[in-house]
Amino acid sequence: MMARIVMFMAAVMLAFAVPSPVQAIDPDEMFTDLAQEERAREIGKQLRCLVCQNQSIFDSNAGLARDLRMVVRERITAGDNDDQIITFVAERFGDYVLLEPPIKQTTYALWAAPVVFLIAALGLGAVYLRRRQPVIEDGLSEAERAEAQRLLKGGDA
Amino acid sequence: MIVELGHYALCLALVAAALQAVTPLWGVRNDNVAAMRFGDSAAQVQFLATLGAFAALTYAYVVSDFSVRTVALNSHSAKPLIYRITGVWANHEGSMLLWVLVLALFGAAIATFARAVPLAMRARVLAVQAMIGVGFFAFILLTSNPFERLPLPPMDGQGMNPLLQDPGIALHPPFLYIGYVGFSTAFSFAIAALMAGKVEPAWARWMRPWVLGAWAALTFGIALGSWWAYYELGWGGFWFWDPVENASFMPWLLGTALLHSAIVVEKRDALQRWTILLAIFTFSLSLMGTFLVRSGILSSVHAFANDPERGAFILVLLAISLVGSMVLFAIRAPAIRERGVFSPISREGGLLLNNLLLAAACGVVFVGTLYPLLLDIATGDRITVGAPYFNQTFGPIFALVAIAAAIGPFLSWKRADARAIAHRLRIVLALSLLVPVIWAALTGWREPLGLAGLGLAAWLFTATLVDLGRRAGIGAAPIATVLRRLVGLPRSAWGLYAGHAGLAICISGVVAISVWKVEAIQTQQLGSPVPVGGYEFTLVDVSQRAGPNYQSSIATVAVSRDGEQVGLLFPERRWYPVERKPTTEAGIRTLWHGDLYAVLGDPAPEGQFVTRYYYNPGVAWMWLGATLMALGGLLTISDRRLRVGAPGARKVPVQAQPA
């Protein structure tokens, strides 16, 4: 329910979303421990600011992005690992919050597409080249070929 | 009055376009030269009328005529003149007017300069060009009239998003439109060829200059937009895989493929059908981009308009053009013969591979951009497809493109000598490995992907240089001969080398900033230095200043390295009272290897300030590379072979007869 309310609020705010120059992370929210800060940022880069377009919470200055960063920081302090934190956030805000879409039933096609395209492109190219091959050989008819052989053998009579 | 004249001129342009869409085709069918020629004049009239309409709207912005609806909504009397002018296209109505202006410009340019194109072909091309015009003039007049008056004009306008009050973003739309609206010419040539039922090598030569010009402008336009994001949004990001960016990137990818496949049509009389399809799809992607941006269907920076009626209209235009051209293709394509033969390992084969890979890369961007939208409509499930997806999927495919781009120029037409090429590639590989190895020795081996990216850029760059050296005979001929050969190389060869080297340089920059960027965020006291990637940033002073339509806090940041001053940066925070919005202007100093980048944040207690400092390596390389690519396109256009009228016979000077 909570997630729904947040989503609804996010949708409302989205309608008024205007990009603004970024004053993303504030010094006062940062960890003094460098390793923890590094982790918080790596996680932050994978989560979407709900009221921005394709911006991560790491890059965004929106209040909601800051709130989400604080959630991440709290989980780090609580001792969760990276995957647990991302799962924690995704469970509350939905998969929409993940910049990298999760692999699930509705995204199989999305993740399969690049592989399919690459194979299809190379396959089509191979088929096209193979089909053309006979054209090279059919350049001459049987009679012409015989004539060519005769000429090559040096007979000009 | 002038505004009404503008409206009238726009209606006139619609009429000219409607006549131009029909009369020349009638002329071709009935072998009527006058009717075919009519297309030329109509295209010129259509352009002049559109230009008049555009000038009228510009006038309304310049004099701040707030009785005009778009002016009242998007301008303000306190805005500097330059942004009152660029404000014309910083909104839905005006930008659509710019769209048709560019469309009409290309039509008029073909009518005026493409005299080498036979009359019947030119007539068909202009007719198709005009059909697109009719659709979009109607769209503007029916759904997005920029000349609409307000019954009660406000005292002043509502202003323009201050982020857009910037020279970089002001020039971004015109270049972008010259690019992707310019691809309409490829579409028109393709449809004209299908109407004629045959595709000759000369057809590709007629079409290529227009496609090259559009492509060069699009390359430059995309780079300009990216540059703007880099310095204006305040954290050094330059590409977001935002749907609207993707909308301009997809035509670029397919347009790049089109440029290359058209070479095969021109030189080797092969790949005609594929080239026609590419031309149709490239422009269809431009139309789709227009739809995505103009309908506001995607939530994004660029989505100003939020009007389903407009979206539906463009979607119908897209459907008509796509379905119509596919039906025509299905009827006519089987009759198009490919005569040129080639073995798989040949220049033709290489260009085919380039095309297939670029098409696959474009397909990935297409799916990634539209998938969340379609999934939402189909199931209500909302997902985000962000940078991590594109980096993992588009990245590897585009890496293959770059690998192949290095090998392609080595291949000779028809059949290449695989062994000789393998030998040359070994040299290239050895040389290009040096770059990541040296870099790793300096910075460490921590970033294998970054090192691979640098190696890739070095591979393409080295191969391009090696090929250039081979053609000039470096090492095999005396220096004088080498120089003469270099000067004598056709411009299109220089275009090839500039384009490929530009891509390599651009890739190296993108890799460097993505992987080796250094940042520091802190609350800083005046006078205390902060270390950032070997540099020391000292906040010297923060003062207040008044701009033409904003208030500004401007900081002075001194940057030094090893105690020696490198330069001063002046990051700013601006406040635009009319729009009630802040902007940041980053303080940037560009060095050849990277940018020093400073952003001023909020004031903190006790005279301190939040500051953000970055060292962004390789930034200048990105813009340099992209500009070099665009330049490569222009160089190729200027080649003798593509110059208008080139196929004509040489004029023999007439000897004066003695009386």
Q: What is the mean pLDDT of chain A?
A: 76
Chain A residues lying within 8 Å of B234, measured CB to CB: 21-23
| Residue in chain A nearest B305 by alpha carbon | A15
How far is Cα A12 from Cα A2, in angstroms, rounded to an integer?
15
Higher pLDDT, B183 or B345: B183
Domain locations in chain B as residue ranges: 1-159, 432-489, 493-641
The amino acid sitting at B509 is G
Q: Which helix (H) or strand (E) holds B419?
A: helix B418-443
Higher pLDDT, B90 or B55: B55
Mean pLDDT over B238-257 rounds to 92
> What is the percent of chain B with per-residue pLDDT over 90, rounded to a whole number?
59
Q: Does A63 touch chain B (CB under 8 A)?
A: no
How far is Cα B553 from Cα B124, in angstroms, rounded to an integer?
58
How far is Cα B63 from Cα B88, in angstroms, rounded to an integer?
12
Higher pLDDT, A48 or B596: B596
Q: What is the mean pLDDT of chain B?
A: 89
CA atoms within 13 A of residue B479's CA, in its CB half-sphere: 0
How far is Cα B14 from Cα B135, in angstroms, rounded to an integer?
9
Quote the strand ranges of B525-643, DSSP E.
Answer: 529-532, 535-546, 551-561, 564-569, 572-576, 581-585, 587-591, 594-604, 608-617
pLDDT in tens, A90-137: 888 888 888 889 898 889 999 999 999 999 999 999 998 887 754 444
Q: Are strands B572-576 and B564-569 parallel, antiparallel or unpaired?
A: unpaired
How far is Cα B316 from Cα B135, in angstroms, rounded to an integer?
10
Tell whether the model's pLDDT for residue B336 goes beyond 70.
Answer: yes
The amino acid sitting at B411 is L
Tell whether the model's pLDDT for residue B649 goes beyond 50.
Answer: no
How far is Cα B479 from Cα B10, in angstroms, rounded to an integer?
60
Given this model, what pLDDT does residue B523 score?
87
Q: Does B232 touch chain A (CB under 8 A)?
A: yes
Contact yes or no for B388 and A99 at CB 8 A: yes
pLDDT band at residue B300 under the 50/70/90 scheme: very low
pLDDT band at residue B643 under the 50/70/90 scheme: low
pLDDT band at residue B101 under the 50/70/90 scheme: very high
| Residue in chain A nearest B602 by alpha carbon | A23
pLDDT in tens, B546-573: 988 899 999 999 999 998 999 999 999 8
pLDDT in tens, B421-477: 888 899 999 999 999 999 999 888 888 999 999 999 999 999 999 999 888 888 778
Given this model, what pLDDT does residue A139 score?
57
Contact yes or no for A27 and B242 at CB 8 A: no
Q: Does B371 touch chain A (CB under 8 A)?
A: yes
Contact yes or no for A22 and B584 at CB 8 A: yes
Chain A residues lying within 8 Å of B392, measured CB to CB: 100
Given this model, what pLDDT does residue A24 score?
62
Spatial CB neighbours of B542, under 8 Å, sequence gap ≥ 6? B526, B553, B554, B555, B556, B600, B603, B609
Tell whether the model's pLDDT for residue B328 goes beyond 70.
Answer: yes
How far is Cα B335 from Cα B198, in angstroms, rounded to an integer?
8
Given this model, what pLDDT does residue A133 score?
56
Spatial CB neighbours of B655, under 8 Å, sequence gap ≥ 6? none
Weakest mean pLDDT among B4-18, B98-112, B342-356, B494-508:
B342-356
Contact yes or no for B357 and A121 at CB 8 A: yes
Q: What letter would DSSP give residue B655?
A: P
How far is Cα B514 from Cα B506, in angstroms, rounded to an integer?
12
CA distance A153 to chain B (A): 26
Q: Does B530 touch chain A (CB under 8 A)?
A: no
**What value of ipTM does the predicted structure carry?**
0.86
Q: Do B293 and B370 touch, CB atoms closer than 8 A?
A: no
Chain B residues lying within 8 Å of A25, measured CB to CB: 521
Q: What is the DSSP string of B115-172?
A: TTS-HHHHHHHHHHHHHHHHHHHHHHHHH--TTPBPSS--SS-----GGG-SHHHHHH
Higher pLDDT, A138 or B473: B473
pLDDT in tens, B522-536: 888 898 899 998 899
Matching CATH number, A2-102, of 1.10.8.640, 3.40.309.10, 3.40.50.720, 3.60.15.10:
1.10.8.640
Tell whether the model's pLDDT for residue A21 goes beyond 60.
Answer: no
Given this model, what pLDDT does residue A53 score?
67
Q: Do B300 and A54 touch, CB atoms closer than 8 A?
A: yes
Tell whether the model's pLDDT for residue B97 goes beyond 90.
Answer: yes
Given this model, what pLDDT does residue B580 score?
81
